[in-house]
């Protein structure tokens, strides 16, 4: 649900997402983490009073919780829609209504690195809702979408 301040609160997970999913261009893992941490009031449409360091990349588990309802039984993949639900949680994002803007089909970074492979990190593929097998090379540019913990 839109908070009217550049953020959207996920009522299932309690996470606060940046409303503008395309605030940043695609970046490497390190640059994506730095970009997310740099967000504050006045950037990316925010009027929420947030400070530098309040925002971060979502973890792999947070992506999984956010995508879970959109992947099944709604079948967003079959609709070629991002694997995130609309505001009421009743259908795919593109079926509306939605508070998010600029959501991309493709892969977003998570903050979760892969311990066994130091040059890889996890991502969330919004085209097919894949979390578990999305291992990305850290130097590769991927989309950035920031989140913060709820109040």
pLDDT in tens, the chain (151 residues): 678 899 999 887 889 999 999 999 999 999 999 999 999 999 999 999 999 999 999 999 999 888 877 766 666 777 777 888 888 888 888 888 899 999 988 899 999 999 889 899 999 988 888 886 678 899 999 999 999 988 6
| Pick among 3.30.390, 3.40.50, 2.60.40, 3.10.100: CATH of 1-151 | 3.10.100
Of residues 103, 12, 19, 111, the one with CA closest to residue 66: 12
If you ran DSSP here, which 8-state letter would residue 93 be given?
G
Predicted local confidence at residue 68, as pLDDT: 77
If you ran DSSP here, which 8-state letter would residue 101 be given?
B
Q: How far apart are CA 38 and CA 59, in angstroms?
A: 17
* Radius of gyration in angstroms for the set of CA atoms belonging to the chain, rounded to a whole number: 14
* CA dihedral of 20, 106, 34, 51, whole degrees rounded to 10: 20
- CA distances, 47 to each of 15, 41, 74, 88 (Å): 17, 5, 33, 24
Predicted local confidence at residue 73, as pLDDT: 61
Of residues 149, 132, 138, the one with CA closest to residue 60: 132
Q: How far apart are CA 132 and CA 87, in angstroms?
A: 25
If you ran DSSP here, which 8-state letter would residue 134 be given?
-
Predicted local confidence at residue 56, as pLDDT: 97
Q: Look up the pTM and report it.
A: 0.90
Predicted local confidence at residue 143, as pLDDT: 96
Give Cβ neighbours of residue 87 (< 8 Å, ≥ 6 apart).
1, 2, 96, 97, 98, 99
């Amino acid at each position: 649900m839109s908070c009217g301040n550049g953020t959207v609160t996920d009522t299932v997970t309690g996470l606060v997402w940046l409303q503008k999913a395309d605030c940043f261009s695609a970046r490497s893992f390190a640059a994506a983490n730095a970009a997310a941490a740099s967000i504050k009031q006045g950037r990316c449409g925010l009027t929420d009073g947030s400070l530098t360091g309040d925002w971060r990349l979502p973890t792999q588990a947070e992506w999984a919780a956010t995508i879970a309802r959109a992947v099944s039984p709604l079948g967003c993949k079959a609709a070629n829609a991002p694997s995130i639900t609309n505001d009421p949680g009743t259908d795919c994002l593109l079926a509306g209504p939605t508070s998010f803007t600029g959501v991309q089909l493709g892969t977003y970074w998570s903050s979760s690195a892969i311990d066994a492979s130091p040059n890889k990190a996890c991502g969330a593929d919004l085209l097919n809702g894949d979390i578990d097998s999305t291992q990305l090379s850290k130097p590769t540019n991927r989309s950035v979408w920031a989140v913060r913990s709820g109040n």
